[in-house]
C-alpha cells in the first residue's frame, strides 16, 4: 500500500513538473511571435506557475520580475526587426527590457488581444486603430494626457471627452500616387491637376500615349473585395469623407455616423471619379487583382497612377526593389483626389496608435513611449523603420520615396485627416467593398452606385 501511495505522489509530482516544463518552452516563442498567439497566450499564465515548482530554468526573457520587462504588441510586422533594435537600444540605456510581439499579415489583432485579456495575459503596450477599438478598451487603458510628448504633436488619439490615450508612432498619407517621370514624359504638370476636368484630361492624354510610355494602364486601381476591401471601402471611401476639408472638419463623417447618410452632390462627384478609375484601370487588376500585383506593376513603371498611399514606399524599396531599380527608381508624388474643383489636400494621419494598458507596468510603459518620441527613439523609428515622424521636434527624415511629398503638403498646411477611422466597424469588409467591386465589374451604373452605396450604408448602420 505504501508503495502504491508513493507511486501516486511521484506521478503527481511528475505531472506538475511536465506542466512546468511545457510552459517554459512555450515562453520562448514569445519574442519570435507573429503567428503563435495561442501558445503564447497559454504560456503567460503557466510560466508563472513554473517559476516556483520547476528547477528554475527560466531565461531572462520571461516575464515575472515586474517593472523591468514591458511587452509591446506591434501591428506592423514589416518593421519587426527595427522595433527589436529599438528595444535593444532602450535596454542598453535604461535596463528595461521591451519584448516586441509582432502581428500582422491577416491576423486579427484586436481579437487576439481579446483572447489575451480573457487569459489574463495582456501586453503593456498594444496597438489600436479604429474608434471601436478605443471604446472597447475604454477604462482599461491609461490616460496619457499629462505626458510630455503630447505637446510635441497633434496626432495623439483623443477620446470624445478630450483625453489623449493613443501614442502616434508614424504618419501615413492617402493621395492619388503618381509616377513623376511618366507624367513628365507625357508632358503633364501635376500641379495643374486641380479638378475633375484636368484629371480626366490627364488620364486621356496618358491613355493615348500608353504605348510610347510603356504603360499597361493609366491607373492601378483594384476593387477586388475579398482581400483588398480596405483599399476601397476604407481608404478610397475616406477620400469622400475628408478630401479638401480642414483637419477638424467632421461634416461628412458626422452625417454618415447619423444613420449612414451620404451627401448626394458630393458623393455623385466622387462616384464620377471612381467611374474614371474603373474606365482607365488595368482590367487584370480591376476585380481580381492582389495588393502585390498592384504595387509591383506600379514600381515597375507600368501604371502612371496607383490608388494606394504612402505605405507602399516600404514595399517598393524592399520586396519590389529590383523592379523599382529597373524602372529607374523614379520619383513619386501625390495628387489630391480632386473630384471637385478646389480640393487641394492629401489626407495624413497616424494609421493606428500605441496604447498603454493599466497595470503595474503603466509608468514604465509611459516612460518608454516618452523615450520613443525623443531623439534616440526617433532616430531608429524614422531612419531604420522608415516611419514618418508625427513629432515636431524630430529632426530625422525617413529614407522613403514618400517622405518628401508628405513633408511638402504638411508644411504647406494642405492636409486633411482620416475620419474613416470613425466609421462603423467592419463596414468596408462586410458591405461597401462589394459595392465598389460591383461598380467596377459593370453591374452598376454611376447613378446606381450612388444609390446603392446610400442604401448599403443606411442598412449597415441600422443593424
Partner 1 sequence: MKPDSVAHKVLSPVFLLVGVALMVVSLIMDFTGSSFSGRGAMLVLGLIMALTGLYLLPTLKYHRAIVYVIFLFPLLFAFAITVLIPLVLGVGYSFTDWTGIRFTTWVGLRNYVTMFNDPSFIWSILLTLLFVILNMILVNVIGFALALLCTVKMKLVNFFRAAFFLPNLIGGIVLGYIWQFVFNNVFIDLTKTSLLSQTKTANMAIILVYIWQYAGYIMLIYVTGLTQMPKDVLEAAQIDGANAVKTLFHIKIPMIASTFTICTFLTLTSAFKQFDVNMALTNGNGSVPGFMGSYLSNGTQMLALNIYNTAIAKNNYAQGQAKAVFFFIILAAVSLIQVRLSNKKEVEL
Binding site for partner 1 (CB under 8 A): 1-2, 5, 8-9, 12, 15-16, 19-20, 45-46, 48-49, 51-53, 64, 66, 108, 110-111, 114, 117, 120, 132, 136-137, 140, 224-227, 229, 284, 287-290, 360, 424-426, 429-435, 437-438, 441, 443, 452, 455-456, 459, 463
Least separation in angstroms between residue 313's CB and partner 1 is 26
Least separation in angstroms between residue 47's CB and partner 1 is 8
Which C-beta is closer to partner 1: that of 319 or that of 425? Answer: 425
Which C-beta is closer to partner 1: that of 82 or that of 452? Answer: 452
Least separation in angstroms between residue 368's CB and partner 1 is 21
Residue reference for cell 520571461: 62
Integer CA distances (angstroms), 219 to 101, 244, 449, in order? 37, 22, 20
Which C-beta is closer to partner 1: that of 199 or that of 355? Answer: 355
446-462 helix and 264-280 helix, angle to the nearest 10 degrees: 120
Q: Give the contacts of 270 (CB within 8 A, at least 6 positions apart).
A: 239, 240, 339
Which C-beta is closer to partner 1: that of 155 or that of 427? Answer: 427
Query: What sign results for the dihedral spanned by CA atoms 295, 301, 303, 305?
Result: positive
CA distance 184 to 162: 46
Least separation in angstroms between residue 359's CB and partner 1 is 10
Smallest CA-to-CA distance from 37 within 68, 71, 65, 81 is with 71
Least separation in angstroms between residue 126's CB and partner 1 is 13
Least separation in angstroms between residue 456's CB and partner 1 is 6
Q: Are 234 and 432 in contact (CB under 8 A)?
A: no
Least separation in angstroms between residue 158's CB and partner 1 is 21
Which C-beta is closer to partner 1: that of 407 or that of 429? Answer: 429
Q: Are 341 and 194 in contact (CB under 8 A)?
A: yes
3-state DSSP assignment of residue 334: strand
Which C-beta is closer to partner 1: that of 136 or that of 159? Answer: 136
- 218 φ/ψ angles, rounded to the nearest 5 degrees: -70, -45
Least separation in angstroms between residue 178's CB and partner 1 is 27
Q: Which cell goes with 84?
A: 527589436
Beta bridge partners of 167: 354
Which C-beta is closer to partner 1: that of 50 or that of 175? Answer: 50
Integer CA distances (angstroms), 287 to 231, 249, 290, 344, in order? 13, 33, 9, 29
Which C-beta is closer to partner 1: that of 403 or that of 423? Answer: 423
Give the CB-side neighbour count of residue 224, counting CA atoms within 13 A.
18
Amino acid at each position: 500500500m505504501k508503495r502504491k501511495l508513493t507511486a501516486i505522489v511521484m506521478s503527481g509530482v511528475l505531472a506538475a513538473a511536465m506542466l512546468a516544463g511545457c510552459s517554459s518552452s512555450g515562453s520562448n516563442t514569445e519574442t519570435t511571435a507573429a503567428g503563435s498567439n495561442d501558445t503564447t497566450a497559454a504560456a503567460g499564465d503557466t510560466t508563472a506557475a513554473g517559476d516556483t515548482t520547476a528547477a528554475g530554468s527560466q531565461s531572462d526573457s520571461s516575464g515575472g520580475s515586474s517593472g523591468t520587462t514591458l511587452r509591446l504588441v506591434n501591428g506592423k510586422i514589416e518593421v519587426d526587426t527595427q522595433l527589436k533594435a529599438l528595444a535593444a537600444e532602450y535596454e542598453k540605456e535604461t535596463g528595461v527590457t521591451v519584448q516586441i510581439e509582432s502581428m500582422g499579415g491577416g491576423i486579427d489583432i484586436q481579437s487576439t488581444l481579446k483572447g489575451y485579456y480573457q487569459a489574463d495575459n495582456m501586453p503593456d503596450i498594444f496597438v489600436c486603430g479604429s474608434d471601436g477599438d478605443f471604446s472597447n478598451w475604454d477604462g482599461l487603458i491609461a490616460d496619457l494626457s499629462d505626458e510630455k510628448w503630447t505637446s510635441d504633436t497633434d496626432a495623439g488619439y483623443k477620446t470624445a471627452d478630450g483625453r489623449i490615450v493613443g501614442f502616434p508612432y508614424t504618419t501615413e498619407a492617402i493621395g492619388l500616387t503618381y509616377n513623376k517621370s511618366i507624367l513628365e514624359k507625357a508632358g503633364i504638370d501635376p500641379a495643374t491637376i486641380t479638378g475633375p476636368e484636368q484629371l480626366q484630361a490627364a488620364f486621356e492624354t496618358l491613355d493615348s500615349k500608353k504605348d510610347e510610355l510603356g504603360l499597361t494602364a493609366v491607373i492601378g486601381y483594384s476593387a477586388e473585395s475579398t482581400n483588398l476591401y480596405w483599399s476601397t471601402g476604407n481608404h478610397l471611401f475616406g477620400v469622400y469623407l475628408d478630401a479638401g476639408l480642414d483637419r477638424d472638419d467632421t461634416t461628412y463623417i458626422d452625417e454618415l455616423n447619423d444613420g449612414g447618410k451620404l451627401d448626394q452632390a458630393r458623393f455623385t462627384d466622387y462616384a464620377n471619379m471612381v467611374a474614371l478609375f474603373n474606365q482607365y484601370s488595368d482590367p487584370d487588376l480591376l476585380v481580381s487583382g492582389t495588393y502585390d500585383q498592384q504595387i509591383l506593376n506600379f514600381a515597375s513603371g507600368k501604371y502612371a497612377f496607383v490608388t494606394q498611399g504612402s505605405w507602399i514606399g516600404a514595399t517598393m524599396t524592399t520586396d519590389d526593389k529590383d523592379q523599382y531599380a529597373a524602372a529607374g527608381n523614379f520619383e513619386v508624388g501625390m495628387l489630391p483626389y480632386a473630384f471637385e474643383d478646389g480640393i487641394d489636400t492629401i489626407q495624413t494621419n497616424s494609421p493606428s496608435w500605441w496604447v498603454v494598458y493599466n497595470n503595474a507596468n503603466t509608468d514604465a510603459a509611459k516612460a518608454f513611449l516618452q523615450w520613443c518620441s525623443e531623439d534616440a527613439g526617433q532616430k531608429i523609428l524614422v531612419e531604420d523603420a522608415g516611419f514618418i515622424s508625427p513629432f515636431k521636434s524630430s529632426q530625422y527624415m525617413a529614407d522613403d520615396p514618400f517622405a518628401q511629398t508628405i513633408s511638402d503638403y504638411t508644411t504647406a498646411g494642405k492636409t486633411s485627416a482620416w475620419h474613416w477611422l470613425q466609421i462603423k466597424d467592419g463596414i468596408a469588409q462586410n458591405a461597401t467593398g462589394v459595392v465598389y467591386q460591383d461598380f467596377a465589374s459593370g453591374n452598376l451604373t454611376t447613378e446606381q452606385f450612388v444609390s446603392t452605396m446610400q442604401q448599403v450604408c443606411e442598412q449597415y448602420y441600422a443593424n
